[in-house]
Structure 1
Amino acid sequence: MAAQHDTVILPGGRVISRATADAAADWLTLLMSGEAGAEQHRQWGQWRQAHADHEAAWQHVESVTGRMKSLGPHPAYTALSAYGAKGRPASAARRRAVQVLLWGGLATGTGLLASRTGTWQASLADCRSATGEQRRFALEDGTQLLLNTGSAVNLRFDARERRILLVEGEIMVTTRHEPGVPTDPRPLWVETAEGSIRSLGTRFTVRQHPAHTGVAVLDSAVEIAAWGAPGQARVLHAGEQTQFSREAIDAPGPADEQTAAWTRGQLLADELRLGDFLAELDRYRPGIVRVDPQIADLRLSGVFPLADTDRILATLPSVLPVRVQWRTRYWVTVVPA
């Protein structure tokens, strides 16, 4: 069995080995190079048929490259084509570039391989928001979707079911319940790197953390199932929150105000460590926010409007013995006063 850090999680939750992902990237590099002959195409077909994981990996490759190609001169597809052409950079660099474009936005055993500038997968998502931005989407079934800062989702709706794939970030889902309007009979799931959340007619938030998923239910209930423990589903009711990994779901606890404060455009702190407060604030700002370890354990409380993060930083010296250093608009460090 592959080590935990040697796996890749495809959209939908299928786990493949890193070796299979790398092999798919190598085949794409070869096929796009124009150097593959009839024998290479035959071997590629044999590889796809040798194992179901190989075909699943290749289907993901075709999904990514197809969506990039449809965007025409989008930089992702331009780069992918360039690194696959004759006379281009050496194979090692070419291979690495293709791997990043294909797999850089997916989850691994050690968490999402995402960056502050976003991933190619996020940039191609059906619904997405930029850093510091919140966006609302009305889906075809009447579901309302609110994306928090730096978030991205893909939608997989068909005649049988509705699936919202959380690529990165945080969302609030509100299903439609109007008097006289029939309820959509298709089940609705939100899927993350760790598992799935089935809506039971509700309003709830889901956040993708580096190695776990957080869920809070505001109305009604949801049912959570971890990918690695499908027989251990847990129902979460209104006013409860929990987190889960691929193997286990934590016992639920009461949902705190801080969890849903972002849906009102607020950052709420209740005796919160300064280090944790600034890490959360950092999600809503382009650039970097750092704190001196000497003051990271200071505590603060308050309700802060996320519409003006500069103002939040400027307020800190009035409530704590700290000083804010601005190297640039995008590089801020909080140090002792």
Structure 2
Amino acid sequence: MSALNPGPRAVKQAIHWMLKLRESGNSPQLLQQCEHWRGAKQEHELAWQRVQSLHQDLNLRAVPGAGIALQTLENSSQRLQRRQALKLLSGVLVIGSATWLGKDLQALNNWTSDFVSTTGEHRRFSLPDGSVLHLNTDSAADLAFDSKQRLIRLKRGEMLLSCANDTAYAPARPLLVHTRHALLEGFDGRFVVRQDADCTRISVIQGSVALHTPGVLQWISAGQTLRVDAQGFSLLPQQDMDAAAWTEGLIVTRDMRLADFVAEVSRYRHGYLSCADEVANLRLSGVFRLEDTDKLLQLLPQTLPVKISYRTRFWVRLERLA
């Protein structure tokens, strides 16, 4: 860890200390405990300074609704858990000044997540039980392991989990993944979970996964992809893209619509990327490297009747070749 770049766990702890102190009215005992935590590691002090700087830069009391949120936190300290309090405060800030605060709240969300990847980044994490977690572009997840369960909360984006057997406890703790739409239980194997705005998709590479819904236990086998939303779940036909290829830095397509391909590539780059309606239904198959999406796009006119129009480096559109 860079001396100038505290990790997400340390920053998350600093935020918790900030909220605990606010809830207690800066209790002398808690202040002493917080100072002890800050002095234990240089990373802790750097995390504390970063959180304090963000708090001051945002000027929370100047944002419409933030004063009410802070008063609520102060008056409800015995009833609100720290995570709930932070969620409440963030929600009010979004309502009060969404445009102004969007970037800072995204950074705050990243700091309060155990595992984070940025746009265009793929990261690999070894978990305490021996499982391996991969995060795709612009994704975040939390870890909650205790004596009863092993739980991963996918907050946004996409992950691949390689499951390990639980040897620390008997009986073995279930390995669970929670999203907005689903509660999943993984067994010996590998599976991909992708959380979109309106649904969660689960693609099982090896082994099997159980989908837990009220009154129903649905099994997903290797080679299957399931879609889950507020209305229920459905088994999807064979996919036109390899669900796990991103872990190797690739997009592998099979007769994929150009519009869908462009939407997928846009996840890995900053700015605006689209294609014109007249070329949206063109099809392509192949293996494409994600390390440089500009080079990737330059390959398309070699196989399809399209041209690439750049208004700026960050505004790109695929159009029909005249």
Q: Distance in 1 between matches of 2:298 and 2:181?
A: 38
Alignment of 1:132 with 2:110, yes or no, is: no
Asked whether the equivalents of residues 129 and 147 of structure 1 are also in contact (C-alpha less than 8 Å), the reply is yes
3-state SS of 2:244 partner? helix
Name 2:39's counterpart in structure 1.
none
Q: Distance in 1 between matches of 2:199 and 2:93?
A: 16
Q: Measure how far apart 1:76 and its partner are.
A: 4.6
Q: Give a deviation string over 1:35-68, Cα, whole Å, max 9, x none.
A: xxxxxxxxxxxxxxxxxxxxxxxxxxxxxxxx9x
CA 1:329–1:183 in 2, change beyond 3 Å: closer, same or farther? farther
CA 1:79–1:270 in 2, change beyond 3 Å: closer, same or farther? same
Q: Measure how far apart 1:329 and its partner are.
A: 2.4
Counterpart of 1:251 (choices 222, 235, 243) is: 235
Alignment of 1:168 with 2:168, yes or no, is: no
CA 1:287–1:183 in 2, change beyond 3 Å: closer, same or farther? farther
Name 1:236's counterpart in structure 2.
220
Matches within 5 A, 1:110-121: 118=106, 120-121=108-109
CA 1:323–1:253 in 2, change beyond 3 Å: closer, same or farther? closer
Q: Which stretch shows the higher mean deviation, 327-336 or 71-80?
A: 71-80
Q: Measure how far apart 1:99 and its partner are.
A: 8.1
Q: Measure how far apart 1:301 and its partner are.
A: 1.6
Name 2:263's counterpart in structure 1.
279
Q: Distance in 2 between matches of 1:250 and 1:72?
A: 48
**What amino acid sits opposite 2:227 in the alignment?**
Q
3-state SS of 1:170 partner? strand
Alignment of 1:147 with 2:125, yes or no, is: no
CA 1:278–1:262 in 2, change beyond 3 Å: closer, same or farther? same
Matches within 5 A, 1:202-217: 202-217=189-204
3-state SS of 2:209 partner? strand
CA 1:95–1:268 in 2, change beyond 3 Å: closer, same or farther? farther
Name 1:194's counterpart in structure 2.
181
**Would you tell me which structure has more helix in proportion to its own residues?**
2
Q: Measure how far apart 1:182 and its partner are.
A: 7.0
Asked whether the equivalents of residues 105 and 122 of structure 1 are also in contact (C-alpha less than 8 Å), the reply is no
Q: Distance in 2 between matches of 1:104 and 1:172?
A: 33
Between the two proteins, the alignment pairs up a number of residues equal to 256
CA 1:123–1:320 in 2, change beyond 3 Å: closer, same or farther? farther
Q: Give a deviation string over 1:208-263, Cα, whole Å, max 9, x none.
A: 0111100011111111124xxx1122011112111111341213655665222222
**What amino acid sits opposite 1:72 in the alignment?**
Q
Q: Distance in 2 between matches of 1:94 and 1:323?
A: 52
Q: Give a deviation string over 1:267-295, Cα, whole Å, max 9, x none.
A: 12222111111000000112221212222
Q: Distance in 2 between matches of 1:326 and 1:100?
A: 41
3-state SS of 1:142 partner? coil
Segments of structure 1 that go 5 or more residues without pairing to the other structure are 1-27, 35-66, 107-113
Name 2:49's counterpart in structure 1.
72
Counterpart of 1:315 (choices 295, 299, 302) is: 299
Matches within 5 A, 1:51-90: 71-74=48-51, 76-79=54-57, 82-84=59-61, 88-89=62-63
Q: Measure how far apart 1:307 and its partner are.
A: 1.4
Asked whether the equivalents of residues 240 and 255 of structure 2 are also in contact (C-alpha less than 8 Å), the reply is no
Q: % of aligned pairs identical?
A: 34
Q: Distance in 2 between matches of 1:254 and 1:322?
A: 27
**What amino acid sits opposite 1:286 in the alignment?**
H
Q: Measure how far apart 1:308 and its partner are.
A: 1.8
**What amino acid sits opposite 1:165 in the alignment?**
R
When normalised by structure 2's length, the TM-score is 0.69
Name 1:329's counterpart in structure 2.
313
Counterpart of 2:207 (choices 220, 231, 240) is: 220
**What amino acid sits opposite 2:124 in the alignment?**
R
**What amino acid sits opposite 1:331 in the alignment?**
W
When normalised by structure 1's length, the TM-score is 0.66
Asked whether the equivalents of residues 186 and 208 of structure 2 are also in contact (C-alpha less than 8 Å), the reply is yes
Please tell me the root mean square deviation across aligned C-alpha atoms, in Å: 3.5
Q: Distance in 2 between matches of 1:288 and 1:94?
A: 36
Segments of structure 2 that go 5 or more residues without pairing to the other structure are 1-18, 26-43, 71-85, 95-101
